[in-house]
């Protein structure tokens, strides 16, 4: 990987704002139509399968439903989105579009030739990972795209905020999309925007962790919580980097196929530039995560050394009285102190002095602090 320009954290916010070309409130990411949720849950496995398609009408994206070939002939969809399709919907896609939807086993390949290629029908097959960042977990959701000259097919097993945001923008902003290639490019642009927002969260969380590590006195329990938090941010940062790498590969593949217009090529280059900037931030965050991890482990070692030091001092302090007791415990016949009137108090006093002397010496040296 070539050199990256590592920008300060404050620049990440400007990158995110530039990515949000037609900014909609972040709450839109969490938007989900209750009606569409109800429909998906209760009618996904119904007897008459239905395909969710989208067409352009008056410059706006409009959702339509296709159940038969007659429905298809009355419309001209530019995008068909399969969200956890049933077996019936897969058969309908095969019947109406001569399209064989990939199975989950097809998503696991990581080599470039298996993720971006042209199939026997001339369609472009693209496998990409899209970030799903929730409060309790984050993961990469695989998405399969099939791009034909006038229509885009997408397949994923989970509902993604990037897809919801694109549909919402395209419904309310006339001229937002012009064709199926615009849909694909804007999905990748929105995904980069979503990754930038996630990186802002990683910066904020690591800042809080850093303040806790460097300004507070960590106990072992606190250190365990800090390490767990650092591990979560490292995992999210790794997923973001993988997501950016996958997006860069898909955009480069589309540019090489010479299917994009001049405006779309320029938009693709802008997406690649933004990805390059974000990739630099992920590299910087990995370094910061490693530093915080090492610092936390260092504090844990210091706490352990304090415990070991206490046991070491106790062992050294108790060694002389143990030696004295061993000497006077030997069964020799001629030991003058055994018959001495003050022999027993003398032995006890000698033991006490031998215990206090090491403690006094260690305290004077500052080893007990």
| 146-195 pLDDT tens trace | 999 999 999 998 889 999 999 999 999 999 999 999 999 999 999 999 99
Domain carrying residue 318: 303-365
* Residue 104 CB neighbour total at 10 angstroms: 10
Q: How many angstroms separate the CA atoms of 259 and 163, rounded?
A: 23
Residues 191 and 289 in one domain: yes
Residues 178 and 236 in one domain: yes
Compute the average pLDDT of residues 104-125: 80
Residues 200 and 318 in one domain: no
Can you give the CATH number for the domain in which 331 is found?
A: 1.20.58.340
Residues 175 and 296 in one domain: yes
Range of lowest pLDDT (39-43, 178-182, 199-203, 273-277): 39-43
Residue (of 260, 212, 205) closest to 236 by Cα position = 205
**Across all residues in the chain, what is the average pLDDT?**
81
Can you give the CATH number for the domain in which 109 is found?
A: 3.30.460.20
Q: Is the confidence at residue 272, as pLDDT, over 60?
A: yes
Residues 86 and 101 in one domain: yes
Q: How many angstroms separate the CA atoms of 305 and 299, rounded?
A: 10
Number of domains observed in the structure of the chain: 2
Domain stops at, among 302, 321, 345: 302
Residues 171 and 159 in one domain: yes
Q: Is the confidence at residue 336, as pLDDT, over 80?
A: no
Range of lowest pLDDT (7-11, 24-28, 275-279, 293-297): 24-28
Q: How many angstroms separate the CA atoms of 19 and 198, rounded?
A: 13
Residues 29 and 157 in one domain: yes
Residues 149 and 159 in one domain: yes
Domain stops at, among 280, 302, 324: 302
Which is it for strands 79-83 and 51-57: parallel, antiparallel or unpaired? antiparallel
Q: Flag whether the pTM goes above 0.75.
A: no
Residue (of 96, 49, 45) closest to 74 by Cα position = 96
Residue 14 lies in a domain: no
Residues 52 and 112 in one domain: yes
Positive or negative, the CA dihedral 173, 176, 180, 186 is negative
Residue 3 lies in a domain: no
Residues 309 and 270 in one domain: no
């Amino acid at each position: 990987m070539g050199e990256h320009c590592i920008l300060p954290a404050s620049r990440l916010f400007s990158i995110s704002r530039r990515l949000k070309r037609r900014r909609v409130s972040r709450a839109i990411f969490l938007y989900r139509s209750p009606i569409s949720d109800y429909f998906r849950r209760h009618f996904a496995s119904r007897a008459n399968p239905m395909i969710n398609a989208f067409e352009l009408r008056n410059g706006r994206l409009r959702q339509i439903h296709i159940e038969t070939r007659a429905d298809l002939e009355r419309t001209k969809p530019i995008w068909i989105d399969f969200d956890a399709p049933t077996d019936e919907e897969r058969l309908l896609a095969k019947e109406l579009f001569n399209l064989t939807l990939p199975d989950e086993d097809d998503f696991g390949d990581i080599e470039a030739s298996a993720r971006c290629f042209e199939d026997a029908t001339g369609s472009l097959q693209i496998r990409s990972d899209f970030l799903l960042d929730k409060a309790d977990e984050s993961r990469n959701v695989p998405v399969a795209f099939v791009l034909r000259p006038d229509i885009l097919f997408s397949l994923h097993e989970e509902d993604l905020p990037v897809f919801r945001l694109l549909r919402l923008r395209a419904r309310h902003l006339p001229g937002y999309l012009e064709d199926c290639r615009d849909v694909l490019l804007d999905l990748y642009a929105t995904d980069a925007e979503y990754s930038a927002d996630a990186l802002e969260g990683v910066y904020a969380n690591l800042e809080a962790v850093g303040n806790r590590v460097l300004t507070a006195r960590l106990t072992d329990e606190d250190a365990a919580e800090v390490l767990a938090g650092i591990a979560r941010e490292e995992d999210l940062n790794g997923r973001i980097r993988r997501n950016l790498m996958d997006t860069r590969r898909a955009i480069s593949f589309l540019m090489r196929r010479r299917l994009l217009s001049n405006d779309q090529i320029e938009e693709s280059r802008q997406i690649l530039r933004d990805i390059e900037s974000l990739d630099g931030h992920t590299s910087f965050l990995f370094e910061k995560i490693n530093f915080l991890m090492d610092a936390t482990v260092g504090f844990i070692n210091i706490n352990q050394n304090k415990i070991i030091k206490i046991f070491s001092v106790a062992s050294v302090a108790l060694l002389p009285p143990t030696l004295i007791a061993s000497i006077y415990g030997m069964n020799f016949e001629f030991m003058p102190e055994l018959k001495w009137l003050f022999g027993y108090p003398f032995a006890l006093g000698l033991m006490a002095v031998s215990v206090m002397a090491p403690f006094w010496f260690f305290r004077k040296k500052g080893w007990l602090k």
